[in-house]
Amino acid sequence: MAYPLLRRALFRLEPERAHALAMLGLTFADRHPGALRLLRWAFAPSDPRLRVRCFGLDFPNPLVLAAGFDKDGEAPAAWPALGFGSAELGTVTADAQPGNPRPRAFRIPEERAVINRMGFNNAGAAALAERLRAARAQPWWPDAPVGVNVGKTRSVPLEDVRRDYERSLRTVWDVADYLVLNVSSPNTPGLRSLQEGTALDDLLSHVAALRGELGAKPVLLKLAPDLDDAALDALIASVERAGLDGLVATNTTVRRDVLRRDPGEAGGLSGAPLGPIALQVLASVRARTTLPLVASGGIETAEDVIARLEAGATLVQAYTGWIYQGPGMARQVARGVLTWLERVGEPDLQRWMSRRDADHIENVGAKRGAPDQLR
């Protein structure tokens, strides 16, 4: 109940300054088990009915912190204490880079939205791997998977992109429970071209071969919300050919027609205005594949989460919504999802998903004329 007052104070600060202050507090908590216990008591749902299994990993609940908030893995143990079933760290690049010039993040409070053009500012894959390896060695490391989101180093030309992603993946492979390939941010020049044609096939086949060398680990692809149907068909076909384990739908959008007032800033739009677009893309992706899906974009409430689950998602990510809702978001979502499960007569979320997915596999298999399976 106190968060609206805190948010008002934080929103008086420049967005990156407010973010730095939040990360300072979370980094302190991450290193002190007493603080983590207090956060867990205050914010984390612990109902076993919320547990789900996705791409071979067990998640305490389906709510995941989206990439972008904890870029350098500074507080990996704090996110489960705040109620997230997982945190996706990054986006990280092979080399450290400063990102785009400031200012590069802009709130739109009346729309519950954010525009950012951060440009993958991060300390590099090696720094994140070292920090995460040390965190995992602590006795209070939580029982929740952690993902690492990997993107393209800005200075690397597109013709060298396979080697660039490989450097990052080799560096973080052993400290991540799952990896996410980011080829869909609008803030790195040329990056979204990797979602198309032979460029994507080349990258994904290279990553698949790398996985064969480094050991089995889930790898997902994060896609943009601005693809047309033909591009979406081609992207999903590439992902399935390469044997990847899932899709994250979606990244931020470059559209501005969903805003009541365009502030005139370049970058990716996130938050409530992205919600209907991201939900539509999620449903469209679901109609085309049986791969596990992670929903992202415009998610704030239990109703938003339930809509994504009904549209085919197994996990649901939040970032901008968490900024506006505050640390009570996970518990509020948990209460809403549990009430919904009782209403639909299901004992737990995993069993509801199993029934949902069995029906979907049958439908997609019938369309393709052959049986299919969820990974």
* Catalytic positions: 185
Sheet holding 105-108, edge to edge: 105-108, 113-116, 268-271
Return d(Cα 165, Cα 173) in angstroms, integer: 12
Q: Phi first, then psi: give them for residue 318, nearest 5 degrees.
A: -135, 150
Q: Report the amino acid identity of residue 105.
A: A
Residue 136 contacts residue 295 (beta carbons within 8 Å): no
Buried b (16+ CB within 10 A) or exposed e, 183-214: bbbbbbeebbebbeeebbbebbebbeebbeee
Residue 67 contacts residue 180 (beta carbons within 8 Å): yes
Helices (H), 254-348: 275-286, 302-310, 320-325, 329-344
Helices (H), 174-319: 197-214, 229-242, 275-286, 302-310
Return d(Cα 191, Cα 205) in angstroms, integer: 18
Neighbours of 134 (CB within 10 A): 12
Residue whose tokens read 């450097």: 167
Return d(Cα 26, Cα 31) in angstroms, integer: 9
Give how far the C-alpha of residue 38 lies from the chain's centroid of Cα atoms, to the nearest Å.
26
Question: Which of 87, 146, 149, 147 has the alpha carbon at shortest distance from 118?
Answer: 149
DSSP letter for 375, please. Answer: -
